[in-house]
Chain A
Amino acid sequence: MESQKLVISPAPHVHGSNDTRRMMGDVLIALLPALVVSVLVYGLQAFVVVAFSVACCVLVEWFVQKFIFKRPSTLGDLSAIVTGVLLGFNLPANMPLGLIAIGAVVAIGVAKMTYGGLGKNLFNPALVARVFLLVAFPVAMTTFPEATGAVSGATPLALAKESLKAGVPVGEVMQSVDLASMSLGMKSGSLGEISVVALLIGFGWLLVRRVISWHIPVCVLGTMALFSSITWLCAPEEYMSPLFHLLSGGAVLGAVYMATDYVTSPMTKKGMVVYGVGIGLITMLIRLWGPYPEGMSFAILIMNSVVPLIDKYIRPRRFGSVKSK
């Protein structure tokens, strides 16, 4: 037979449907409902914040790859866009654009690229930027615009913390918050935090598409629920209810979209459980007894730093390592 040039490569010769770009695309799709809600609640400025954040992140990554690393563009993996959206989701709707740009430089330029780019960073880039902004520009980060029909400019968490500190009993605090509208998005907060329902719809999508597994989100939220139930049952006059804690602040956004970041979370299911429980615990400690009303970002970053340790000591179960029947 006429010999023709054949391709030679080692097995396997077929590949599954997993694809970084596809999975990041699924994350973006999952974030859509929450984006829509934030625009409905805060109007176009919410969209402007997210879009600007995405644009800055993409620009920073492109710049670093091209002029500093002198490597081909990595924008195709969509991870810079995901970071951009998540950063936007962690900001108030009236965030000054200049500060957003600084946030993008911190997220991509510092937290991601200095480690060598996608996959190498120890900390979640969007969270590093959020915490940086929170510390550097506390006023801009905690002044929330009046949401359409929402009660106040301060987040329910901040409100509750302040009131409880001032000795107002829980019953009265609860009168000022309506859990049902909180879960839909009628509360103040960072853009992406406001609608738990929209975030959970996205969670469903991520599960269906097998982008993430349930372990981290369920362990984070489960631990928070358990912890706050105990404190609430012990002293219902001093502590807010578990439902309040799950619905407020960045609980769901953090548990589903930030803590599950592949790069900065453990490699095994068992490790994910440990990591998730750790985040839940630390979040509650900060919320109840720490200086800040919200502890999710710190909790995730702290647990990010423990991931190498978790991966070192919690290994997958090897075949043949159980005693034969």
Chain B
Amino acid sequence: MKTFPIGGIHPSDCKEYSKGAKIERFPVPATVTIPLSQHIGAPAVACVAKGDKVLVGQIIATAGGFVSSNIHSSVSGTVVAVEPKADAQGNMKPSITIAVEGDEWAEGIDRTDTVVKAINMSPKEIVDKIAAMGIVGMGGATFPTHVKLSVPDGKKAECLIINAVECEPYLTADYRVMLEQGERLLIGARILAKAIGVDKIYIGIENNKPDAIAHLTKLAGAYLEIEIVPLKMRYPQGGEKQLIAAVTGREVPSGKLPIDVGAVVQNVGTALAVYEAVAKNKPLIERVVTVTGSTLASPKNLLVRIGTPMSALVEYSGGIDGIGKVIAGGPMMGRAVSNLDAPVTKGTSGVLLMPTQESLRKAEGSCIRCAKCVEACPMGLEPYLLSALTQQNDYDQLEAHYIADCIECGCCTFSCPSYLPLLDWVRIGKAEVMKRMRERSQKK
């Protein structure tokens, strides 16, 4: 069975808590807070003001540049504030707050359950539509999808890879979408393929989800261009470069992009959002969020309106008693939350609650040169060395040792028997090295 070539780890997948929970529609909250920057790139610019009435699906902020994204209202009601609000980490971020009144949808959105198979738009129209509907990468990276679909001149896309790996432990949102919305997902993938002009679609799924593999393989029988690729379970298989290598055997060289080896990768949630945007004219206003944890009374997969406070989801799934840490996303790459009232955004794939005793780090020892971090690094780096060089502020050496290649997957910290915070240091070193590299290329 296929997998990526070097490094990787096997964290326990912990998906059993929520994998059986069908996607449930979460009730519309009383107010939503919609940040203007939920994506990589320039923040969107608000186009509504305090006091305005808005409908579900109405545009409320327009993209602030090419690498940016439109934002739509996820509810109907009155705009009560356009001002900075605390995000999950407590930083003040420009946001639009809307008091909910009813559930009135904007015109032109097809809310029926009918599956629309035909794709009548041209590639250009598809990309424009995706941009208009505010679609971004929903696996967590939140890169605007229309940017990824705009293949630069001189480069050629050869295949589309749907990232159905969901290699983060605990998360099951994509898994549930595959089982419950498989048909729509495949149509979304075909729309994406048409947009970049390729006739080969791979869907990479890890073998810890045999039912999803079986289900999609059956559905994909109707489409010759779609191939389901079962992958050997290993983290971080969902990393873009790792997935491309696992599926096609091609390795994206250091400093290059997936398109340089002819690949475009989109995740499951994104493909579904693309289907809804293109076939149903529905903007990105809601997403599936896994709310889970080992101590939760009832872990869930919820279809949540963007802007819903995380605290509402947590309360609904069993409350916060005995919880020490809340993580937006998965346990390997997700971010710890300090402000539970912060909203679910386009990139929130999960809300993970960790019991108090699992929340604290263990005391650091010293590096015993066991090489476990080197073995685990999927980019072939030497985390022990990068961490030490960062502590010595030796940025030239850090660059020479390819710190910029780090994908921040956390395999090194996970593997270190001395509980060294390797990735904490590597992040610091990488940020500084990237800054220097940018400054250098600007000078040229």
Contact = CB atoms under 8 A, between A and B. Distances in A.
Contact of B250 (A16, A19, A23, A325): A325
Contacts of B5: 319
Nearest to B354: A13
Contacts of A12: 331-333, 410, 413-414, 423
B340 A318 contact: no
A120 B366 CA distance: 9
Interface string B3-29: 001110101000000000000000000
B368 A18 contact: no
A70 interface: no
B427 interface: yes
Q: Interface of chain B, helix or strand or loop or mixed?
A: loop
A12 B418 CA distance: 15
B325 A318 contact: no
Max count, chain B CB within 10 A of own CB: residue among A3, A6, A23:
A6
B370 A11 contact: no
Contacts of A266: 371
Given A7-B336, A14-B11, A16-B11, A1 B380 contact: no
Contacts of A119: 366-369, 418
Given A7-B360, A11-B423, A16-B9, A318 B381 contact: yes
* Interface footprint category on B: 35 or more
Interface in A1-57: 1, 3-4, 6-16, 18-20, 22-23
B413 A325 contact: no
B365 A8 contact: no
B71 interface: no
Contacts, number: 168
A279 B338 CA distance: 54
A318 B368 contact: no
Nearest to A8: B336
Contacts of B147: none
A297 interface: no
B378 interface: yes
B340 A1 contact: yes
A10 B169 CA distance: 16
Given A6-B340, A13-B332, A319-B405, 17 more contacts: A10-B421, A10-B427, A11-B333, A12-B331, A14-B332, A15-B414, A16-B11, A19-B419, A117-B366, A118-B365, A119-B367, A262-B370, A315-B382, A316-B377, A319-B245, A320-B252, A320-B254
Interface of B: 5-7, 9, 11, 89, 169, 241, 245, 249-254, 256, 261, 311, 314-315, 320, 323-327, 331-341, 352, 354, 356, 358-362, 365-372, 374, 377-382, 384, 402, 405, 408, 410, 413-419, 421, 423-424, 427
